[in-house]
Structure 1
């Protein structure tokens, strides 16, 4: 793609990077076939190619974002299926990241939109606030239909509808400290406890720590780590995202320098994509560039790390049919496609792939709140494809996907690591019902 930026414009590192990305696009349109919003809406401007044209025009002309640009950029899920498909290596992820930051600086959103976005940024990255907000939101849930009918309030209605019926208590595993390996010590890792996940499903991190400890790995919950910054990063709040990244880099660097780490374990693939990008996000900060690159190099999805270890003999779960939902941030963002399914198969599960497995489920961080209608359409399509495989349960590696898919099906949706922990002698996942065979065995 030909570009016409001035030397003055290219002096901005963000614009210079975007210009290099734009020049790689050859207009081939391969991306349109795998873009969830284009497949759903059929609008060229809701495809990666269309958004690239909008971003190019906005940046080249050095003009503020307008309503049209914002509408179509906001509809992007950042699922990165287009990156997997693109034959030219267009770095769409960093281009859309820059466009969102530019929008945040140059466009004044309608008041309801600003309120919802501000509320999400103020609450979701902080577990204590998020937990308190869920209790408050349960009182407001009956009013969701009313909010859905009011102009600009559909996101608030979607937020209320996503509130779980039961809110788990705070897990002791989230407290800073070390969880000792059992038997011969094989490694030492840190774990990202995260923000939304330990509130919605604390059992995921608990299962991770239990499993790693049992197979000889010490797990450290570092003092001072918190939200990875992905939620605000995808809202264009770059300063907030970089602050979160610096805080985590500092927390993990202390552990690297005091005892060493074999890996930084992440159990939410959306966080993993962001943490693996810390080196890029902080590349212009001389105080953090090297430290951030070191942290990114150590970041591993839990399945990515487990695949490097010898696992014990399975003791539970043999023969259950599992349909594996590969989160976009897993398959497209991190290119992890083999390890989760291989681990499940080795654990004794019968693993199936759903049709259209490359398409997003519609969660995408806060997307199912900010774009509820598109998100629901994508969810229903995903659920229909999964249910066609007739599984006993669904496995996934991202809390957003788990919550989103569970809202559209009665089939249990369980994190991959919870299943692996159970198979190798850990607690039974709370969402996994007893099978007929197990019920008969228990009765005997």
Structure 2
């Protein structure tokens, strides 16, 4: 050995060719590939690396035990010191703005990268009857596979059995095992694209998958999960909205029921007892539904704060039921109503009958179009009969919709039309009798 070569070499050296391989993984890989016959040397290298790892881990454990003992000693000393003297508040530094700036930069980076991937994914979905491989390479430039010897994910070398594949969104190289696949339906859902049948190739189905790397797929799935969380509504919100809807429907019905009950108790003939009983049964059903929904809300699980909120909603619903729906006045019997009605209902002047009917039709918002055919004789051409049949149809629709105030107005109009019709019939009969008397006298 010459004087220039008297130095001591250090590093991960190959025992056979004395080449410096920089790392232990490269050294073992070099021995496996270049010197496969040196199995004893390879085994000795592996044993040496294992011993070194154990020694390092043992040193780390010893350092950790000593560090824990020092921390316990300091904590005990600090606790004893604080018993005698109160520690003064030191200098406070707020790092919130720094954290926000760092976090904002990272979020902007990931957002820009994810948007870039979504744009490329949308372009992949929208292609005509061209070569698919050519279209995919036009969306993103693929990395040259000749410069990549190992898979970036699993660090395994490419060969005849382990071929190279490219990510369709970033163009990176990977092996088959490290490849991820995204279905076309999920890709459309992520991009929100509605690809028409004309743009879809005829020789492919909607279940064809797009090859991606793990990094690109992770970014797309993270954004998709975040969007679903923002759009998803908690079950407690849905139940609460249902409860509020039931309350909003019950409030005008309660007001109408009290009005109808007062009218019946005062002996008025504006409303009927059957309609009032139907309205009361409807309110009872609404109360049952409210109680059921509030029970479901109270049974929901969650954090202590959420459970407290659920119980508060249940208590508020119970108080509402007790004050609004469970304290409704009792209805009088039919005998009591008949005893109160000593005089027949008041009638309005016959001149205002047609005007009142037209007014009710405008208030209800209904029109004769689509009404059932009048049940009277089709040969009758009296407009009063036709109008009475139309009003009867209005009454049926209003009673089905629980619009009993309009039922009362329509029934009042119907009575006025009936009185007008009977009055005209009597005048017609008197006229006919006079004509007959005049004819017989002549």
TM over 0.5: no
> TM-score w.r.t. structure 1 length?
0.19
Q: Which has the higher contact order (CA 8 A, sep 6+)?
A: 1
TM-score by length of 2: 0.19
By percentage of residues, which structure has more helix? 2
